[in-house]
């Protein structure tokens, strides 16, 4: 698929396969002038016209106090909800034109989620928890488990695939959740307060893992209320009262700082590129999931 | 449209649906077990009722077969004026000459004689007993035997001696035979020689006080006409004998004779459905209904409790249909579990009860199949509403309002 890729470690090859849609680094996720109001008297506006583009290989922190609309933004970016107005495009696909079931399949194959509360199934093993990340992508059980094992290796938990999540520490559980988000090799991973339930040291180790995955080529968005965390990320988007107030812009593209809406036109920053290799892609904006 | 290219498959393979359907069961074993128990009890009740009635019927038919279905009875009917058409005293001998007849025994009702415990009982308290003159080999023909004492023989048939049918002894308050025991029959003391076991084929014997023919004539003013003739015929000639009996017993007036085959009536009776079966089946159906409500209840609670799981699955890419089929299949699985346990319980209780009664265990296949099917349908119906609820739940609400 990506014939021009530099030689890569295993999981990086997968990462390179994943970022397939960026003909000239087209954004993986675009949010275009999106508003969202919740029903009520009067309707409660949560987002008041947000535009954001995230290119392949980026690691973005979305930071804002509670009630700022960052969770709503994540829900819209994750296609878990539809905007009141505006467009959301994932790998070039406009959510508004897609049926619910198609959007669900899009989630199954192109978006990974990490939650503050982990949401692991306590009755099943770590391996099966991770394998469930592929359940709705239509992959047979045996293959799901094999890929789950590979992904557990990526997060440093390959030694204990058959324990239950209850036997793990909080940090380990979050690693399992991250593995579950990554197992389908999604185009983008959305992490909602991934360190929110963890102590500081563990939180740092999770951030280090996220950074490591980012270097390996994953596109990751971290939603947090903690400026200290957000500032450690290459790109930080500040949100307040349903509007984007700051955006440090894509790291490699300094010019985009003042144009946060602009489509990222260049390949990922050199650091990321070194890790992922220069992605080479077909015209086709939409590809079947890697198998 | 690019979205079309995204879609490759939507339905989960059956193996995954099966795995998902047991998630609730694996996480909450006791609760799932209890809700399945409701259905199990209902199914068990229905299977057991059907199984027990079939087994008892089979047992009864078997008993009737052992008693012999070749017994024919000839009794005096009515003549044209409505009076009793007496059988000629020659009838037993004539019948005995029909080809295929093995045994002929008779009883004759002693008109005007009633049996009492003693002379002080008011004459109206007859206890619905009849006094019958009986021939000496009656017992083997009507398939009963002596419970206590002895039956009439050539010697005591001449004497004022009686043998009591099972019901007659009970109604007279006599439970054992001792020397000198006597009853008051038609202004005459009769000594009690024995008590009979119940005669299943001929219940008329049970409520009779039996006296020898000579004694009945000597002491009770009996006219000597037999009123009922019991005939055992060869099995392969029953129909032929049956057709000849009327004319043979009373050639002058064949229509004044009624011939019957007692086992026929018993078989018909055994095959008739007991009214209680309906009641118990109704109770079983109520238990099933309650079980269904239990499953629906559990599923609704489960949907509420597993909001985060539902939200997570939606985030992992489950469609509404996937969520719906997961919860529906879980309810069906619970129902089926109840059905399997219920059928097993029903079969076990039927066979235990049938065994203690000495019957063969007979289980109508439709009872077991019906039990499975009913539990399946009940699971599906009970799970439908909770499954729809789960599918309707929005992923954002499910994930962010825990």
- Nearest CA to CA, how far is A29 from chain B (Å)? 16
- Contact list in B for residue A92 (CB cut-off 8 A) is 2
Name the token pair of B367.
Answer: 């009872």
User: Cβ contact (<8 Å) for B16 and A135?
Assistant: yes
β-bridge mates for residue A243, sequence order: A240
Q: Three-state DSSP class for A235? A: strand
Give yes or no for residue B247 having a pLDDT over 60.
yes
Lowest mean pLDDT among A226-240, B201-215, B275-289, B342-356: B275-289
| Residue B14 in contact with partner chain A when CB distance is under 8 A | no
A197 touches chain B (CB under 8 A): no
CB-count burial class (<10 Å; 0-12, 13-18, 19+) for A108 = buried
pLDDT at A116 over 70: yes
Averaged pLDDT for residues B254-264: 85
Question: Which residues pair with residue B218 across a beta bridge?
Answer: none
Q: How much is the mean pLDDT over chain B?
A: 89
**A17, two tokens:** 């396969």
Q: Does A122 touch chain B (CB under 8 A)?
A: yes
Name residues 128-187 of chain A within 8 A of B (Cβ).
132-133, 135-138, 140-141, 180
* Local confidence band at A22 (pLDDT 50, 70, 90 cut-offs): very low
Residue B262 has pLDDT above 90, yes or no: no
CA distances from residue A31 to A62, A115, A155, A243, A245 in whole angstroms, order as listed: 13, 21, 30, 12, 15
CA dist B40 and B346 (Å) reads: 9
Residue A150 pLDDT exceeds 80: yes
Percent of chain B's residues with pLDDT above 70:
97
Dist. CA A223–CA B361, nearest whole Å = 68
Helix ranges, B68-81 (H): none
The predicted structure's pLDDT at residue B402: 56
Q: What is the mean pLDDT of residues B314-340?
A: 93
The whole-number pLDDT of residue A282 equals 32
Interface contact A286-B2, CB threshold 8 A: yes
Residue A286 at interface with chain B, using a CB cutoff of 8 Å: yes
> Which token pair is B100?
């295929």
The whole-number average pLDDT for the span A258-279 is 37
Q: Which of A287, A276, A289, A288 is nearest to A56 (CA)?
A: A276
DSSP state of A132: G
Task: Report the mean per-residue pLDDT for chain A.
Answer: 80
Q: Residue A269 pLDDT > 90, yes or no?
A: no
In angstroms, what separates the C-alpha of B7 from chain A's closest C-alpha?
Answer: 7
- pLDDT for the residue numbered B269: 73
Q: Which of B16, B315, B393, B399 to mutate to test the interface with A (most CBs of A within 10 A)?
A: B315
Q: Residue A121 has what pLDDT?
A: 92
pLDDT band at residue A174 using 50, 70 and 90 as cut-offs: very high
Binary contact (A136, B394; C-beta < 8 A): no
- Give mean pLDDT, residues A213-240: 92
Tell me: pLDDT of A144 over 50: yes
pLDDT in tens, B293-302: 988 998 999 9
Contacts of A287 in chain B (CB under 8 A): 5
Quick one: pLDDT band at residue A252, thresholds 50, 70, 90?
A: low
> Is A81's CB within 8 Å of B399's CB?
no
Q: Do B315 and A98 count as a contact with CB atoms less than 8 A apart?
A: no
Retrieve residue A26's tokens. Answer: 């087209």
B residues 117..146 contacting A (CB < 8 A): none
What band does B284 get if pLDDT is binned at 50, 70 and 90?
A: confident
Average pLDDT rounded to a whole number, residues A43-65: 93
A134 Cα to chain B: minimum distance (Å): 8
What band does B8 get if pLDDT is binned at 50, 70 and 90? Answer: low
The pLDDT value recorded for residue A274 is: 39
The partner residue sitting opposite B317, judged by closest CB among A71, A109, A117, is A109
- CA of B268 to nearest chain A CA: how many angstroms apart? 58
**What pLDDT is recorded for position B9?**
57
Judge: A121–B309 Cβ closer than 8 Å, yes or no: yes
> pTM for the whole thing?
0.71
Give the distance from residue B312's alpha carbon to the nearest chain A alpha carbon, in angstroms.
7
Mutating which of A108, A127, A189, A289 best tests the B interface, going by the most B Cβ atoms within 10 A? Answer: A108
Smallest CA-to-CA distance from A15 within A248, A216, A245, A172 is with A216
**B16 at the A interface (CB within 8 A)?**
yes
pLDDT at A285: 35
| Contact with chain B for residue A82, Cβ under 8 A | no
More confidently predicted of B131 and A284 = B131
Nearest to B320 by CA among B381, B249, B391, B266: B391
* Distance (Å) from the alpha carbon of A142 to chain B's nearest alpha carbon: 11
Inter-chain CB pairs, A–B, below 8 Å: 109
The reply to whether B318 touches chain A by the CB within 8 Å rule is yes
Min mean pLDDT across A218-232, A238-252, B118-132, B269-283 is at: B269-283
Predicted confidence (pLDDT) per residue in B199-219, tens digit: 988 889 999 999 999 999 999
């Amino acid at each position: 698929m990506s014939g021009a890729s530099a030689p890569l470690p295993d999981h990086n090859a997968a990462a390179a396969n994943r970022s397939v849609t960026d003909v000239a680094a087209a954004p993986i996720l675009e949010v275009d002038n999106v508003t969202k109001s919740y029903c009520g008297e009067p309707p409660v506006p949560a987002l008041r016209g947000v535009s954001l583009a995230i290119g392949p290989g980026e690691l973005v922190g979305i930071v804002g106090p509670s009630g700022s609309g960052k969770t709503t933004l994540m829900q819209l970016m994750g296609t878990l909800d539809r905007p009141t107005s505006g467009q959301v495009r994932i790998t070039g696909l406009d959510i508004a034109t897609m049926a619910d079931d198609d959007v669900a399949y899009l989630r199954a194959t192109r978006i990974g989620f990490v939650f503050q509360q982990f949401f692991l199934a306590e009755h099943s093993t770590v391996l099966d928890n991770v394998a469930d990340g592929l359940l709705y992508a239509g992959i047979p059980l045996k293959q799901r488990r094999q890929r789950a094992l590979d992904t557990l290796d990526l997060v440093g938990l390959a030694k204990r695939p058959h324990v239950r999540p209850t036997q793990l520490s909080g940090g380990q559980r979050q690693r399992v959740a991250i593995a579950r988000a990554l197992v389908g090799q999604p185009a983008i991973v959305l992490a909602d307060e991934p360190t929110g339930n963890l102590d500081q040291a563990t939180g740092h180790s999770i951030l280090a893992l996220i950074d490591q995955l980012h270097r390996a080529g994953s596109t990751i968005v971290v939603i947090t209320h903690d400026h200290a965390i957000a500032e450690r990320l290459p790109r930080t988007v500040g949100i307040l009262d349903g509007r984007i107030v700051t955006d440090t812009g894509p790291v490699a593209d300094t010019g985009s700082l003042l144009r946060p809406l602009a489509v990222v036109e260049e390949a990922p920053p050199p650091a990321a590129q070194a890790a992922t290799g220069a992605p080479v892609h077909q015209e086709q904006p939409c590809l079947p999931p890697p198998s | 449209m690019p979205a079309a290219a995204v879609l490759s498959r939507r339905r989960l393979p059956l193996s995954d649906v099966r795995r998902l359907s047991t998630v609730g069961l694996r996480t909450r074993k006791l609760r799932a077990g209890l809700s399945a128990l409701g259905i199990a009890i209902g199914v068990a009740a229905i299977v057991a009722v059907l199984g027990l009635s079939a087994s008892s019927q089979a047992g009864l038919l078997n008993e009737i077969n052992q008693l012999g279905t070749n017994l024919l009875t000839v009794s005096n009917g009515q003549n044209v004026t409505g009076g009793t058409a007496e059988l000629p005293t020659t009838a037993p001998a004539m019948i005995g000459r029909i080809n295929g007849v093995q045994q002929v025994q008779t009883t004759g009702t002693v008109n005007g004689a009633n049996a009492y415990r003693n002379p002080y009982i008011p004459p109206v308290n007859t206890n619905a007993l009849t006094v019958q003159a009986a021939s000496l080999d009656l017992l083997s023909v009507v398939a009963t035997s002596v419970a206590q004492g002895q039956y009439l023989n050539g010697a005591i048939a001449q004497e004022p001696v009686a043998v009591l049918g099972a019901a007659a002894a009970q109604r007279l308050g006599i439970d054992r035979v001792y020397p000198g025991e006597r009853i008051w029959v038609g202004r005459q003391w009769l000594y009690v020689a024995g008590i009979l076991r119940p005669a299943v084929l001929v219940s008329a014997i049970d409520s009779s006080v039996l006296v020898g023919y000579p004694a009945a004539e000597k002491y009770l003013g009996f006219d000597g006409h037999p009123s009922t003739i019991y005939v055992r015929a060869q099995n392969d000639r029953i129909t032929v004998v049956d057709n000849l009996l009327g004319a043979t017993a009373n050639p002058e007036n064949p229509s004044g004779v009624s011939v019957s085959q007692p086992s026929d009536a018993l078989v018909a009776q055994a095959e008739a459905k007991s009214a209680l079966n309906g009641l118990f089946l109704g109770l079983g159906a109520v238990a099933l209904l309650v079980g269904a409500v239990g499953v629906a209840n559990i599923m609704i609670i489960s949907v509420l409790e597993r909001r985060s799981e539902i939200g997570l699955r939606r985030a992992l890419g489950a469609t509404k249909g996937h969520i719906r089929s997961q919860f529906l299949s879980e309810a069906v699985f619970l129902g089926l579990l109840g059905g399997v346990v219920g059928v097993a319980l029903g079969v076990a209780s039927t066979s235990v009860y049938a065994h203690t009664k000495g019957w063969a265990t007979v289980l109508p296949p439709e009872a077991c199949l019906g039990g499975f099917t009913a539990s399946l349908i009940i699971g599906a119906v009970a799970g439908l509403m909770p499954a729809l609820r789960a599918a309707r739940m929005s992923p954002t609400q499910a994930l962010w309002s825990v």
